[in-house]
Amino acid sequence: MSQEVLLLPGDGIGPEVTAQAARVLDWMIDHADLDLELSEALVGGAAIEATGEPLPDATLKAAREADAILLGAVGGPQWDSLPMAQRPEKGLLGLRAELDLFANLRPAILYPELADASSLKAEIVAGLDILIVRELTGGIYFGQPRGVEERNGVRTGFNTYVYSEPEIERVGRVAFETAMKRGKKLCSVDKANVLEVTVLWREVMTRLAAEYPEVELSHMYVDNAAMQLVRNPKQFDVIVTGNMFGDILSDCAAMLTGSIGMLPSASLDVNGKGMYEPVHGSAPDIAGTDQANPLATLLSVAMMLRHSLGQIDAADRLERAVQSVLAADHRTGDIAATGETVIGTQAMGDAVIAAL
Amino acid sequence: MSQEVLLLPGDGIGPEVTAQAARVLDWMIDHADLDLELSEALVGGAAIEATGEPLPDATLKAAREADAILLGAVGGPQWDSLPMAQRPEKGLLGLRAELDLFANLRPAILYPELADASSLKAEIVAGLDILIVRELTGGIYFGQPRGVEERNGVRTGFNTYVYSEPEIERVGRVAFETAMKRGKKLCSVDKANVLEVTVLWREVMTRLAAEYPEVELSHMYVDNAAMQLVRNPKQFDVIVTGNMFGDILSDCAAMLTGSIGMLPSASLDVNGKGMYEPVHGSAPDIAGTDQANPLATLLSVAMMLRHSLGQIDAADRLERAVQSVLAADHRTGDIAATGETVIGTQAMGDAVIAAL
Ligand SMILES: CC(C)[C@H](C(=O)O)[C@@H](O)C(=O)O
Ligand SMILES: CC(C)[C@H](C(=O)O)[C@@H](O)C(=O)O
Total residues found in chain B within this entry: 356
pLDDT band at A1 (very low <50, low <70, confident <90, very high): confident
DSSP letter (8 states) at residue A102: -
pLDDT at B148: 98
Rounded Cα–Cα distance for residues A129 and A238 (Å): 9
Q: Which residues contact A214 (CB under 8 A, 6 or more apart)?
A: A180, A184
Interchain proximity B155–A200, CB inside 8 Å: yes
Of the listed B111, B163, B191, B237, which one is catalytic? B191
Residues of chain B with pLDDT under 70: none
Report yes or no: B158 and A167 within 8 Å, Cβ to Cβ: no
Residue B54 is labelled as binding a ligand? no
- Tell whether domain A1-111+262-356 is in CATH 3.40.50.720: no
What one-letter code names the amino acid at B103? A
Could you give the dihedral angle defined by the CA atoms of residues B128, B133, B134 and B135, in that order, rounded to the nearest 10 degrees? 180
Of the two residues A133 and B113, the one the predictor is more confident about is A133
Mutate to test the interface with A, among B202, B204, B244, B338 (most CBs of A within 10 A): B244
A280 Cα: distance to centroid of ligand 1 (angstroms): 10
Residues 6+ apart with CB under 8 A from A192: A198, A199, A201, A202, A219, A221
- For ligand 2, residues with CB inside 6 Å are A 193-194, 223; B 75, 89, 92-93, 247
| B158 with A143: Cβ contact below 8 A | yes
Residue A85 has pLDDT above 90, yes or no: no
Distance from chain centroid for Cα A274: 11
**Cis bond upstream, residue B145 (ω within 30):** yes
Residue B26 is a catalytic residue: no
**Is the pLDDT confidence value at A329 over 90?**
yes
A141–chain B Cβ distance below 8 A for any pair:
yes
Count helices and strands in chain A by DSSP H and E runs: 12, 12
Largest CA distance in chain B: 68
Amino acid identity at A84: M
Distance from CA of B23 to the nearest CA of A (A): 30
Residues 6+ apart with CB under 8 A from B128: B108, B109, B110, B233, B234, B256, B257
C-alpha distances out from residue B325 to B236, B264, B295, B300, Å: 28, 17, 10, 16
Cα(A242)–Cα(B303) distance, integer angstroms: 36
pLDDT at A268: 97
- Burial class from Cβ neighbours inside 10 Å (0-12, 13-18, 19+) for residue A129 reads middle
Q: Find the ligand nearest to A11 CA.
A: 1
In CATH terms, the fold of domain A129-256 is: Isopropylmalate Dehydrogenase (3.40.718)
- pTM to 2 decimals? 0.96
Reduced DSSP (H G I as helix, E B as strand, rest coil) percent helix, strand, coil of chain B, to 5: 50, 20, 30
Cβ distance B196 to A256 less than 8 Å, yes or no, reads: no
Q: How far is the CA of A287 from the centre of ligand 2 (A)?
A: 41
Instruction: Mention every residue, 6+ apart, whose C-beta is less than 8 A from residue A242.
Output: A134, A135, A138, A139, A140, A161, A163, A190, A198, A201
pLDDT at B115: 86
Please tell me whether A224 is known to bind a ligand. no
Residues of B in contact with A84 (CB under 8 A): 193-194, 196, 199
Cβ atoms A25, A301 nearer than 8 A: yes
What integer pLDDT is reported at residue A41 of this predicted model? Answer: 98
**Helix (H) / strand (E) containing B308:** none
User: Which letter does DSSP use for residue A239 in this model?
Assistant: E
User: How large is the C-alpha radius of gyration of chain A?
Assistant: 20
pLDDT at B1 (0 to 100): 79
Q: Go through chain A and tell me how many residues it has.
A: 356
CA distance A12 to A333: 17
Of A148, A197, A256, Cβ closest to residue B230: A256
Compute the distance between CA of residue A185 and CA of residue A240 in angstroms, rounded to an integer.
11
Q: A206 in the Ramachandran plot: left (φ > 0), alpha (ψ -120 to 50) or beta?
A: alpha
- A196 touches B: beta carbon within 8 Å: yes
What whole-number distance in Å separates Cα of residue B165 and Cα of residue B205? 10
CA distance B79 to B263: 26
Helix (H) / strand (E) containing B106: strand B103-109
Q: Which of A215, A216, A214, A233 is nearest to A225 (CA)?
A: A233
Asked if residue B18 lies in contact with residue B74, where contact means CB atoms within 8 angstroms, the answer is no
Closest by CA position to A72, among listed A11, A137, A24: A11
Q: A152's torsion region: left (phi>0), alpha (psi -120 to 50) or beta?
A: left
Neighboring chain A residues of B143 at a CB cutoff of 8 Å = 158
Nearest to B159 among A84, A196, A230 (CB): A196
Please report the residues numbered 246 through 305 in chain A whose beta carbons come closer than 8 angstroms to any beta carbon of chain B.
247-252, 254-256, 258, 260
Alpha carbon of B45 to those of B17, B80, B249, B274, B309: distances in Å? 16, 10, 26, 22, 28
Euclidean distance between CA atoms A269 and A17, whole angstroms: 24
Domains A1-111+262-356 and A129-256 equal at CATH topology level = yes
**Spatial CB neighbours of B217, under 8 Å, sequence gap ≥ 6:** B186, B187, B188, B205, B206, B209
Nearby residues of A81 by Cβ (< 8 Å), 6 or more positions away: none
Alpha-carbon torsion angle A193, B301, B275, B344, nearest 10: 20
Calpha distance B297→B308 (Å, rounded): 15
Euclidean distance between the first and the last CA atom of chain A, given in angstroms as a whole number: 25
Nearest to A3 by CA among A314, A278, A354, A317: A314
Q: What is the CA angle A126-A129-A135, rounded to 5? A: 145
Question: Got the DSSP string for A36-86?
Answer: EEEEE---HHHHHHHHSSSS-HHHHHHHHH-SEEEEEE---GGGTTS-GGG
Q: What is the C-alpha to C-alpha distance for residues B38 and B309, in angstroms, rounded to an integer?
A: 13
Confidence band, pLDDT 50/70/90 cuts, at residue A259 = confident
pLDDT at A335: 92
pLDDT digits (tens, 9 = 90+) for A277-327: 999 999 999 999 999 999 999 999 999 999 999 999 999 999 999 999 999
Give pLDDT, residue A135: 98
Cβ A274 vs Cβ A307: under 8 Å: yes
Tell me the C-alpha distance between A227 and B229, whole Å: 12
- Residue A337 pLDDT: 86
Q: What DSSP line would sit under B25-71, residue for residue?
A: HHHHHHHS---EEEEE---HHHHHHHHS-SS-HHHHHHHHH-SEEEE
Residue A292 is labelled as binding a ligand: yes
Domain boundaries, chain A: 1-111+262-356, 129-256
Tell me which residue has its CA closest to atom 2 in ligand 2.
B89
Specify the pairing of strand B147-151 against strand B154-164.
Answer: antiparallel
CA pair distance B281, B76, nearest whole angstrom: 9
Task: From the CA of B277, give the closest atom in ligand 2.
Answer: 12
Q: Residue A247: is it exposed, middle or buried by C-beta count within 10 angstroms (0-12/13-18/19+)? A: buried
Find the residues whose C-beta lies inside 6 A of ligand 1. A 75, 89, 92-93, 247; B 193-194, 223
Q: Give yes or no for A193 touching B (CB within 8 A).
A: yes
Average pLDDT, chain A: 96
C-alpha–C-alpha distance, residues B352 and B179, integer Å: 30
